[in-house]
Amino acid sequence: MRLEDHIITLVLLFSCIKVCVLQTDLKCDDINTQKLCVDQDWCDSCLQSHICCNYCYDKSYTGRRCNTKNQLLLSNCNETMIEFNQMSRVMKQINKPFTTKDEIIQIKPQNVLVQLKKGIPTNITFSYKLAENYPLDLYYLGDLSMSMKPSMKIFASLGQHLPSNLTKLTKHYKLAFGSFGDKPAMPFYYTDEESARDPCKKAMEESCEPGYSFRHHLNFTSNTEDFLDVVSSSRVTANVDDLDGALDALLQVLACNETINFSPLSRKIILLPTDSLLHSAGDGILAGAVRKPDLKCLLDKNGEYTKSLINDYPALDQIEFALRKNKVNIIFAVKTLSKMYYYLNMTSSTLKGYAFVGELQEDATNIVDLITKGYYNFAQTVSFMMNTTEQEYLDVKFFADCENHGIFNETSVCYGLGNRAIKFKVELTAKYIPEHQRETLYVEEKNINEKLTVNVEYVSSCQCSNYKDEGNKFCGHGTYRCGRCYCEEGWSGSNCSENCENLDFRSCRSYETDPHPEFVLKTESANVAVVNVN
């Protein structure tokens, strides 16, 4: 026997040691289980039919090749030539410790290999621990309508307290700034020549910025003074109605994440203080902006949104998609209590899990507190997902021990993390084996770029297919595999020595019309008849 054959035999014996223990705990000799096994003719279909079914590829064996372990041994199958049914397996491939000085790691392990068998639920256990000083990117999206002018001044004056407060959240933070008004066209802005030049002049007898939809002022920076200088020097504008173009601005901030320079590895939060409601999809028609916006960055070299009079306002579900895709959260700091309920309703439905709403006091002095509350709302919650929309053959369930009591409940979300390591399980079940044998999936945290890489191998092929001996010589006009002769087209018999032209045609008819051990199998190279070697 060749070295390769010895290795395969040892692998099968090792599998027996692991699997036989499992099968003794199951009712494998139940009559219904045995019947299910013996009805299978193929090695692959045998192992996929039930965990108790095993396959004998002993050439000298004369019984039914698919049966329970005990029945195969009672029928004198050589135990070293039994293809034992293996359970699915999970192997850790990368398992670095949680965050160190050199690397931020919040999920452990980071990479696993899963061997899945049809119908066998397989659990992947992993842990999540919130890293200290995880980076924060805070984008201040200012409502620069005239009614928010006092709040802007307050925020600029409170800026001296911002660094000390943010440092309590994380030592690694960056700030960026953009502002919005509304679509600069009737009925959202007056469009006569004087109003277009200065929309505040007529009504308020003071000067302000010409109308615009969204303007990005400052990329992310760790220099707080630069940030506050840009914010304090920004001028307000004045639209006509009580609604504003915040959704136009939000979509551009999300679409331009590379231009704005969001960090790949950070908690990304947009702070949006406002005292207005939102224009949404359909409202743009009033200004002739009818085209549905897509998730493209449309800022010019000055950071201004260029298609505001062509594209309609985005719908809330587009904003939700963009938040989910880019893993960004929003803090709505709402100045008017009556309007706050509008935002609360929005964040409890379409934007659920991605937005936090807080009441902004009339003098806006609690803006820094709202940043802190919003940050902890997101940071102290962990939510996992696995995108398997294209894997209809895969069933996914999440379980978590949120309280560290050793009890796993079916959920993918835990709250109030503290500095504990929270254990999760994701259960994968292959409803059937897909054509491809391997793929890579990801268990992802909903709001930050943390993920567990899951390399999946779908186990269906029998290892005895690789077992070579002198069977090929025995099979004559055919190939020996897993205890059978696979006869070439036109040949039949236990060793493929009988010419079909000299036999009754029924000896060579196809499996589709005769579901017995002898049948014709279509392959890429030839038609072959398959027979038991008895």
pLDDT tens column, 15-58:
444 444 445 556 788 899 999 999 998 888 888 888 899 999 98
Length of the chain: 534
> How far is Cα of residue 459 from the mean position of the Cα atoms in its chain?
23
Give Cα separations from 88 to 18, 25, 459 (angstroms): 12, 17, 8
Distance CA 57, CA 80 (A): 9
- In this predicted model, what pLDDT tens digit does every residue of 446-491 receive, in sequence order? 999 999 999 999 887 677 776 655 556 778 888 888 887 878 888 8
CA 157 to chain CA centroid, nearest Å: 42
pLDDT at site 471: 52
Give the model confidence (pLDDT) of 166-185 as tens digits.
999 999 999 999 999 898 88
Q: With contact defined as beta carbons under 8 Å apart, do 194 and 202 qualify?
A: yes
Mean pLDDT of 427-438: 90
Sorted by sequence, the CB contacts under 8 Å of residue 56 that are 6+ apart come out as 63, 65, 66, 67, 72, 75, 77, 78, 81, 82, 83, 483
For the stretch 121-144, pLDDT in tens is 999 999 999 999 999 999 999 988
Q: What DSSP line would sit under 172-189, residue for residue?
A: -EEEEEEEE---SSTTTS
Q: What is the mean pLDDT of the chain?
A: 85
Mean pLDDT over 216-221 rounds to 96
Instruction: Identify whether the C-beta of residue 106 lies closer than 8 Å to the C-beta of residue 130.
Output: yes
pLDDT in tens, 270-329: 999 998 899 999 999 999 899 999 999 999 999 999 999 999 999 999 999 999 999 999
Q: What are phi and psi of 128, to 5 degrees?
A: -130, 135
pTM of the shown model: 0.78
Question: What are residue 466's phi and psi, to 5 degrees?
Answer: -90, -5
